[in-house]
A = this chain, B = another copy of it.
Amino acid sequence: MNRKSREEWATQIAELEQEPAPARKEPITVGRIVTTALALVEAEGFDALTMRRVAAALQTGPASLYAHVRNKADLDDLLIGTLSRNVSAPAPDAERWREQVLDVCGQLRDQFLRYPGIARAALSAPPANLDTLRITEGLLAIFLAGGVSPRSAAWAIDAVLLYVSAYTFETSLRGGQPDRAEMLARLRMLPVSRFPHIVEHADTLNAGEGHERFEFALRLLLDGLVTVG
């Protein structure tokens, strides 16, 4: 019975005392990391998404995450990938292609808005992500079925996805409704000499309930598409 076995003996005893709380035995996996991270973002926003916070929620240290995830950027990619996997592209219907595009974009928008601030990751994410390519594929099918030329479709998809990310980013930045009355008052305070049109149409400038602005912009893009072909 050398020293080595004495230490083993000690650890066995220690484990004996910790027996009532062996819940921490589950190994860390990419899946658990992603789930934890998403929950964190949903509850406290993207800024709260920290390697340390995720690790703490998993009852470990930050270093443990790097065995499963290359980077924080890599983790961000995984998150937007997971979100992208939650949007489903409908089977193309040539008659309703515009509504179908709006539907897909709406799904993506809702996914992004559910996790405040995560759109920043979407904007920074490499465009070659496999899961976002799935959405691109779905949209491309819809556009082509709608009679849009491949080149226009490709560029329109780019514009549309970019807009969705930017819109959701901006929206989740200003928490909920950012005091529209205040905003209106400030616009009215502007000197009429320098800002005549803004002052005149101040109320129109920050009109728009819910996602009216969102749908308006997308419809603009799609309507413009029919004049180009």
Contacts and interface: CB of A to CB of B under 8 A. Distances in A.
B154 A205 contact: yes
A197 B141 contact: yes
A123 B133 CA distance: 25
A217 B221 contact: yes
Copies in the complex: 2
Interface in A162-197: 162-163, 165-167, 169-170, 173, 183, 186-187, 190, 194-197
A68 interface: no
A45 to B, nearest CB: 13
A151 interface: yes
A99 interface: no
Interface of A: 123-124, 128, 133-134, 136-137, 140-141, 144, 150-156, 158-159, 162-163, 165-167, 169-170, 173, 183, 186-187, 190, 194-198, 201, 204-205, 207-208, 212-213, 216-217, 219-225, 227-228
Given A128-B183, A223-B228, A224-B221, A213 B137 contact: no
Instruction: Specify which of A124, A153, A156, A169 lies most central, judged by the most chain B CB atoms within 10 Å of its CB.
Output: A169
Contacts of A150: 201, 204
A205 B152 CA distance: 10
9 contacts: A124-B173, A128-B183, A128-B187, A136-B205, A140-B197, A141-B196, A144-B197, A155-B217, A156-B220
